[in-house]
Amino acid sequence: MPDKRREYALNAVLALGLLLVPLWAYWAGSPFTITVFTRIAIFALAAVGLNIALGLGGMVSFGHAVYFGVGGYVAGIAAQHAFNGETFLGIAGANQMLIIWPVAMIAAGLLAAVIGAFSLRTSGIFFIMITLAFAQMVYYFAISWPTYGGEDGLPIYVRNTFPGLNTMRPWNLFILCWCLLMLAIGAFALIRASRFGAALMAIRQNPDRVAAVGISPFGIKLAAFVISAMITGLAGALMADLSRFASPAAMAWTMSGELIVIIILGGTGRLFGPVAGAAVLVGFEVIFGGMTEHWRLWLGLVLLLTVLFARGGIVTLIAGRERLG
């Protein structure tokens, strides 16, 4: 089918473009460009997580920033303890990314299990509001907890480490983020092709009909919600290391909104939608952000045009409605 070939081509362009431009910047000696593309990769990773809940399961979580923020705090707290020569979770020198990543994912997953257990009993506008309410609760908890910086956030003086790589070098951090993004996209594709994924997409259409074939909609939705939060939490840990700062602002509701915007711009439920959406968002931030403080105005305009004239986002606009898989 020509549509499918076009989507393969678009995916290849997005995956390789995201890799080759920073590679060029590495040779040309432009660390700023590498950092911009690392931001794209991390935002895309966070959105791949949300895309499982929102794109496949139709769960419009307006509180996914909280998992992004929690991941960031795990990275920040680990870095602070290591910097002060203290232990974290009983481990001395826990500033290893290979420790931080699973811890960030588990922390985000546990939080999502609790939040999901309550909020998934509702749907529609109530679900949106209750996820927002939980996220705001955690946000206000973070800014009022002085041990870990409170409103000022947590600076990371030395980035967390990865065996064999100096993560203070932009290219090294980028390639870690790019690899994790590709792994997450692979996981997304596997989930979508599995029985679990089919059931999840079916629930979005009609939970009662799914129950009639012997599947508990609640269990499937909760599992998807937790997996979704874990991936977003991992992205949060990477973002804290990139900006060398664990910020409570990463948990603010505007961040939740930005993740949803990325998915709508890129294409809801599309495999590489988050990459396309994140590229547009970060692109606007860099290009128009340099000209005006009000760059979001232009982003809003593009969002409006997408919703009015290109419902399926960039991926659907280029590759057509028929999805891979």
- Of residues 49 and 217, the one with the C-beta less far from another protein: 217
> Rounded to the nearest whole angstrom, what is the least distance from the CB of residue 153 to another protein in the complex?
42
Residues 120 and 128: beta-carbon distance below 8 Å: no
- Of residues 206 and 254, the one with the C-beta less far from another protein: 206
Distance in angstroms (rounded) separating the CA atoms of residues 319 and 314:
8
Place of tokens 């089919």: 198
**Buried residues in 217-239 as b, exposed as e (16+ CB within 10 A):** beebbbbbbbbbbbbbbbbbbbb
Alpha-carbon distances, residue 301 vs 10, 30, 252 (angstroms) = 24, 30, 22
- Of residues 199 and 252, the one with the C-beta less far from another protein: 199
> Rounded to the nearest whole angstrom, what is the least distance from the CB of residue 10 to another protein in the complex?
19
> Rounded to the nearest whole angstrom, what is the least distance from the CB of residue 321 to another protein in the complex?
9
Alpha-carbon distances, residue 85 vs 6, 24, 93, 186, 300 (angstroms) = 53, 38, 7, 37, 46
Residues 257 and 135: beta-carbon distance below 8 Å: no
Contact code string over 208-227 relative to another protein, x by CB under 8 A: xxxxxxxxxx----------
> 188-207: which residues touch another protein (CB under 8 A)?
194-195, 197-199, 201-202, 205-206
Q: What are phi and psi of 165, to 5 degrees?
A: -130, 135
- Of residues 182 and 198, the one with the C-beta less far from another protein: 198
> Rounded to the nearest whole angstrom, what is the least distance from the CB of residue 132 to another protein in the complex?
27
> Rounded to the nearest whole angstrom, what is the least distance from the CB of residue 58 to another protein in the complex?
11
**Buried residues in 176-191 as b, exposed as e (16+ CB within 10 A):** bbbebbbebbeebeeb
> Rounded to the nearest whole angstrom, what is the least distance from the CB of residue 173 to another protein in the complex?
38
Number of residues that bind another protein (CB under 8 A): 20
- Of residues 150 and 325, the one with the C-beta less far from another protein: 325
- Of residues 4 and 244, the one with the C-beta less far from another protein: 4
Name the 3-class secondary structure at 301: helix
* Contacts to another protein by CB under 8 A: 194-195, 197-199, 201-202, 205-206, 208-217, 325
